[in-house]
Amino acid sequence: MSNKRQDVSVSPDGEVFILPGEADYQAENQRLAELVAEHRQAGRQIVVVMGVGFVGAVMAAVVADAPGKFVIGMQRPSERSYWKIPLLNRGLAPVTSEDPEVPAMIARCVNEKKTLTASFSYEALALADVVVVDVQCDYSKDELADVTKGSVEMRAFEQSLGVIGQKIQPQCLVLIETTVPPGATEFVAYPIIKKAFRARGVDDEPLLAHSYERVMPGRNYVASIRDFWRVCAGVNEKSRQMVVDFLNDVLNTEKYPLTVLDKPIESETAKIVENSFRATMLAFMDEWSRFAELNGVDIVKVIQAIKARPTHNNIMFPGPGIGGYCLPKDGGLGVWSHHHLMGFQEPIFKMTPMAIDINDNRSLHAAGLVRDGLRNMSRSLAACEVLVCGASYREDVGDTRYSGSELVVRKLTEMGAIVRVHDPYVKRWWELENQDTYPAPGHSRGRFFRSQQELGHLKVSQDLEQSLQGADAVVLCVRHKQYLELDPDWVVKMAGGPLCVVDCFALLDDAKIRRYFELGCEVKGMGRGHVKRIKDAVRRA
C-alpha cells in the first residue's frame, strides 16, 4: 500500500477534494474540447475568465447569462482554491452574498442554459476568443500604517500573463480586469505576451485591453457588475474596438454607457484615483470621529445632517478601518508605479499614502475602546473573553480580504484578550488559518503584532447565542443585518450578565445604547461621543 500523501483542497463547508493528477488533465482537456466544439457550432463566442474569486465567479456568470457566450471559469488548482471548480460545476456559487441573483444566475447558467463551466486546465486558454483576467495583484506593506514602505506582488499576475501568451490564439482578446499599478497593461502585460508570441513564431500584435470592475459584494452584487458604468481602453485600435464590442454584448451599456479612454494607463489610473478618493474621504472622517468621541458629539447625527445637502450626500462613516481588496492598498499601487514603472524618484504623493496609513490605525483605535470600556467596569482586557461580531470587510458578504476586523482581532490578541469571532457569512477565515504561509511565508498581517500564534486555530462561529455565552465584551465591527437587529436584553441574557459593548460602525441607535446602560453594561462607540450623556442620564434616573 502506498503511503504517498494526496494534496487536497477543502471547501468552507469542509468538503474535501483531491487535487487533479496527470490523468485528470487528459480527461479535462478532452471535455473542454468537446464542449467548445459544441458551442462554436451553436455560434457562441468562447470566453475564459481566469480566476473565479469574488470578482471572477460573478463576472463569469454575468457573461454566461448574456446571449451568444460560452464561459469557462478557470482557476489554478491550489489547495486554497481548487474546491471552487467542482462546486461551480454543480451550479453552486463559490462566494456568499445577500444578493439572491448570485446563486440563481450561477445555477441557471450551469444547469439549465449550460453556458458556464469551470476548469483547472490552462489548455482552456487555447480555446478562447476572449480571456478576462481576474487574478490578484497584491500590495505588501513592510510596516503597518506606512504604505510607502512596501511593494507590489506582481509575480502571480506576471506568471498568469506568461501562460496566456504561451497558450492563446493570436486573435484572442485579453481583457485585464485586475486592479493593477498604472502602466501595468502597456509596460508589463504587453511585453510579456509579445515575448511569448515571438517565442512561438507569432508576429501578430497582442490584442490587449483594460477595464476595471466596480464590483460591490452584497445585496447588489450582480448589478454592480452588469448594471453599472464601465471604463475601458485598448493598447491599439483593434483592441479598443474588441473590448467595446465585448462589454456592449455582456453589460447593460444601453442604460450605463461605456467610457472609452485613449490608453490603458488612463483606465488603470482612473481605478486607483477612484479608490484613493474614497479612502481619503474615510481618513478625513477619522479625525472628526475622534473629535466627536472626545467632545460629546455623535458623528452619525452630524453626517446625517450634512448629507441633507445634495452636494455632500456621499459623506460616509468610516467604521473600524477600511477593508476589501481595493481601498486598503490601491493608493500604494499608484505610489509604487510612480517610482518603479515610470522611474520617477521625487515623492509627489502625500495625501494618498497618508489616508491609507490613517485608516490602518483606525482599527487599532477600536481595540483601545474595548480596553477603556472594560476598565470602566473594573475589568482588565488581558484574559477577558471578547466576542468580535463580523469578520468580513463589509455588511452581508463573506469577503475577509484586508478586513478591518482582522486588525481589531490581532490587536486585541496582542493585548491579552481571549478572542472569539462570529460571522453569519464567513465559515473559514483564510487569512488567520493560514497566517504562516499566506500570502507568503512571513507576510501575513500577523507579523505586525506579538502573540499571534493561536489565531491560526481560530474558528469563525455561525451560532451567535453560543458565541455570546460568558463574553466580557462584544465588539460590533460589521453592519450585518443580524447585528442591526440585536435586542440588548437578549444579548445580556445570552452573555450571562452585563458586558462591555463597543459599536464600531454605528449599529446602535440611542434607544439601544440607553437600554444597554440600564442593563448595567458599558457602551463605547467610534465617533459616538454622546454616549456619556446617555450614560449620565441613566445613572441619574
**What one-character-per-residue DSSP string does 375-391 give?**
HHTT--STT-EEEEE--
Q: Output the nine-digit C-alpha cell for 259.
A: 467610457
What are the structural domain ranges in the chain?
24-265, 281-540
Give the separation between CA 528 and CA 212, rounded to whole angstroms: 36
Contacts of 469 by beta carbon, 8 Å cutoff, 6+ apart? 494, 495, 496
Span 155-175, average pLDDT: 97
Is the pLDDT assigned to residue 449 strictly greater than 60? yes
Which pLDDT does position 2 carry in this prediction?
A: 45
Q: Is 237 exposed, middle or buried (0-12, 13-18, 19+ CB in 10 A)?
A: exposed
Q: Would the CATH topology of 24-265 be identical to that of 281-540?
A: yes
pLDDT of 333-365, one tens digit each? 999 999 999 999 999 999 999 999 999 999 999
Which pLDDT does position 127 carry in this prediction?
A: 98
**Which of 405, 411, 375 lies closest to 392, judged by CA?**
405
pLDDT of 277-326, one tens digit each? 999 999 999 999 999 999 999 999 999 999 999 999 999 998 998 888 88
Phi and psi torsions of 33, nearest 5°: -60, -40
Higher local confidence (pLDDT), 440 or 492: 492
Which pLDDT does position 5 carry in this prediction?
A: 53
Which pLDDT does position 313 carry in this prediction?
A: 93
Is the pLDDT assigned to residue 393 strictly greater than 80? yes
Residue 214 burial (CB count, 10 A) = 14
Is the pLDDT assigned to residue 57 strictly greater than 50? yes
Q: Is 434 exposed, middle or buried (0-12, 13-18, 19+ CB in 10 A)?
A: middle
Q: How confident is the model at residue 541 (pLDDT cuts 50, 70, 90)?
A: confident
Give the largest CA-CA distance in the chain.
85
Class of CATH domain 24-265:
alpha beta
Contacts of 305 by beta carbon, 8 Å cutoff, 6+ apart? none
pLDDT of 108-150, one tens digit each? 999 999 999 999 999 999 999 999 999 989 898 999 999 999 8
- When computed from its CA atoms, the radius of gyration of the chain, rounded to whole angstroms, is 25
**Which of 241, 260, 234 lies closest to 175, judged by CA?**
234
Give the separation between CA 2 and CA 322, rounded to whole angstroms: 49
pLDDT of 200-254, one tens digit each? 999 999 999 999 999 988 889 999 999 999 999 999 999 999 999 999 999 999 9
Which pLDDT does position 136 carry in this prediction?
A: 86
DSSP code string of 264-311? HHHHHHHHHHHHHHHHHHHHHHHHHHHHHHHTT-BHHHHHHHHHTSGG
Strand partners, 153: 138
Give the separation between CA 165 and CA 500, rounded to whole angstroms: 56
Which pLDDT does position 444 carry in this prediction?
A: 93
Span 447-463, average pLDDT: 96
Given a contact cutoff of 8 angstroms between Cβ atoms, the answer to whether 449 and 411 are in contact is yes
Please name the residue that has the C-alpha cell 446625517.
Answer: 304
281-540: CATH topology is Rossmann fold (3.40.50)
DSSP code string of 189-234? IHHHHHHHHHHTT--SPPEEEE-------STTHHHHHHSS-EEEEE
pLDDT of 244-265, one tens digit each? 999 999 999 999 999 999 999 9
Is the pLDDT assigned to residue 3 strictly greater than 50? no
**Which of 533, 528, 536, 539 lies closest to 294, judged by CA?**
528
Q: Output the nine-digit C-alpha cell for 86.
A: 467542482
Which pLDDT does position 1 carry in this prediction?
A: 38
Which pLDDT does position 321 carry in this prediction?
A: 87
